[in-house]
Each structure stands twice: as C-alpha cells, then as structure tokens.
Amino acid sequence: MEQIEFDFDEPGQKAPPARKKRVGLFVTCLVDLFRPVVGFSAVKLLEEAGFYVDVPKAQSCCGQSACRLDDQSVAKAEARHVIRTFEVYDYVVTLSPSCAAVIRQDYPHRFAKEPAWCNRAMALAANCFDLLEFLCDIAKPEQFCSSFQGSIAYHDLGQKEDWDLASGKIQRLLEGLEGIELKEVSNASALSPKAVLSSGAGTMISDDLGQLMDWARLLKREGSAIEVRHIAEILADMADGPAIGERAASLASIRA
C-alpha cells in the first residue's frame, strides 16, 4: 500500500491563505451572442467580491428553448451537459433569472425517475444562483465602484410567481449608490413603453437581457432616447459603451 505523506506546517509558520471559492459563470445564450459586456461586468463584480471565476468553454444552452418546444430528449441532453460542466464548481452563477429557474426547478423534476441524475441535478440546483441573488445573499460586497449618475427605471423580475429568485434585489444593490434615483416599473406594465416613458428616467434596467432587448426595441419605436442596460453594467461601472439597441460609433466617426 502506497504511503501518503502530509505536508504539515512548521510551528509558528503563517497559515496559507484560504482557497477562493470557485464560481462557474453560466453566461447564457443571449449574453454570449448579443451583449458580452454583461458577462465581462459579471466577472469583474465576482472577482472584486473575492471569488475565482471560470467561464467554461464547454457550456451550452440550459435547455429552456427545447423545453418550450416540448422536445424533451434534447432538453434532457442539454441538462445533462450543463450538470457535467458545472457540478465541479462551488457555485454556479447565471446571468438570467430564467436560466437559474430552469436549473433549480426543472432539472430535479426532469430526472425524477433517474435517481443518480436526480441527485446530481439537486446538488447543482442547491449551488445555483442568479447574479443578483448571489451578490446580495452570498458575496455581499460592501460597496460597488460605480460612478453612474442619473435616474433609473427598473423592473423586478423576481416578482414573477414562478421565479423565487431576485425579488427586491435590484433596489437593494442600487440604493447605496450615490447620484442615482430609482423608479420602479410594476409587473402590470412591464412591457409598456408608456409606463417607462412616464417614469421620467433616463435609463431602463433589469437583470434579464431578453426583456431588455424587447424594451430597447419598443422604446426605439417610440423615438425615445432612454438608454436600456443590464444592471451588471451599472454596478461594475462598465456602462460607458453603447446601450442595448444602439450601434457602436464607427471608426470613421471616432477619427473625425
């Protein structure tokens, strides 16, 4: 039998620094394809909170689209892939409340008749958090480096009855920032341009990119100059680029 030797500290030697908790960042399809700055913002926020952040190249869709199309075989295959990819981390942090809801609520149910996979799904679900939930309840940073100034209208997606996730978190994270005036848009008028316009805010935010893209489209149709951004961009002080739905300045205009 092979002998195992332990490397004990010498008396009086300083204890090694505690290992940073590892976060697997679940970027989501929309962030990857349309708004990478949200992912960069999340990495910055998590690293500043003291976590080691990894963005696995092998990650894929959570299976939400396949589930909506009632393609259960594809949904199960994607769920297995997500479990294999992310179960090695201390935490899984998603950039979409809906993806977090799928992993936490749907995965255990999807494998209810497969005990081994069900146990793995439940273990992953227990360590899976939406970004705002993770910042508020796990990371708990004392402050953010944001220099954003202005009035912000926001929609709390956590109020949805089927998503027990980020309710109240947007307000908690932003209310400590100086120079920001918060104005909530209720669920009842969630996608009403009139409700957003009447808020008088200069920026509209949420933590769901799909909904933000819808807002940007509707507000542009109304000719509104209200900017639409993900909350992570505000918190990470990375809101200096084009807003959602806006085109980046051309090289020619920059040189001019």
Q: How many helices (H) and strands (E) does the chain have?
A: 13, 8
Q: Is residue 133 located within the same domain as residue 151?
A: no
Query: How many residues are listed for the chain in this entry?
Result: 256
Find the domain containing 97 and state its range.
22-137
Please check whether residue 39 is in contact with residue 32, taking contact to mean a CB–CB distance below 8 angstroms. yes
pLDDT in tens, the chain (256 residues): 344 433 434 444 444 456 789 999 999 999 999 999 999 999 999 999 999 999 999 999 999 988 888 888 999 999 999 999 999 999 999 999 999 999 999 999 999 999 999 999 999 999 999 999 999 999 999 889 899 999 999 877 654 544 455 568 888 899 878 889 998 886 545 567 888 888 889 999 999 999 899 999 999 999 999 999 999 999 999 999 999 999 875 444 444 4
User: Does residue 87 lie in a domain region?
Assistant: yes
How far is 134 from 173, CA to CA, in rounded Å? 11
Residues 151 and 224 in one domain: yes
CB–CB of 202/243 below 8 Å? no
Report DSSP letters for 41-61, one per residue: HHHHHHHHTT-EEE--TT---
User: Can you tell me the distance from the alpha carbon of 216 to that of 34, in angstroms, rounded to the nearest whole number?
Assistant: 13
Same domain, 100 and 186: no
> Strand, coil or helix: what is 93?
strand
Q: What are the tens digits of pLDDT across the range 117-134?
A: 999 999 999 999 999 999
Q: Is the dihedral of CA 121, 126, 130, 131 positive or negative?
A: negative
CATH code at position 153: 3.40.50
Q: How far apart are CA 205 and CA 228, in angstroms?
A: 6
Classify residue 13: in a domain, yes or no.
no
pLDDT of residue 190: 55
Q: Name the amino acid, one letter, at 81.
A: H
* Domain contains 9: no
Pair (67, 148) in one structural domain: no
CA–CA dist 230, 253 (Å, integer): 26
- Same-domain status, 130 and 209: no
Does one domain contain both 42 and 84?
Answer: yes
Three-class DSSP category at 147: coil
Please write down the HEC assignment for all residues of 161-229. CCCCCCCCHHHHHHCCCCCEEEEECCHHHCCCHHHHHHCCCCEEEECCHHHHHHHHHHHHHCCCCCEEE
pTM: 0.84
Can you give the pLDDT at residue 194?
A: 81
228 and 160 in one domain? yes
In a domain, 16, yes or no: no
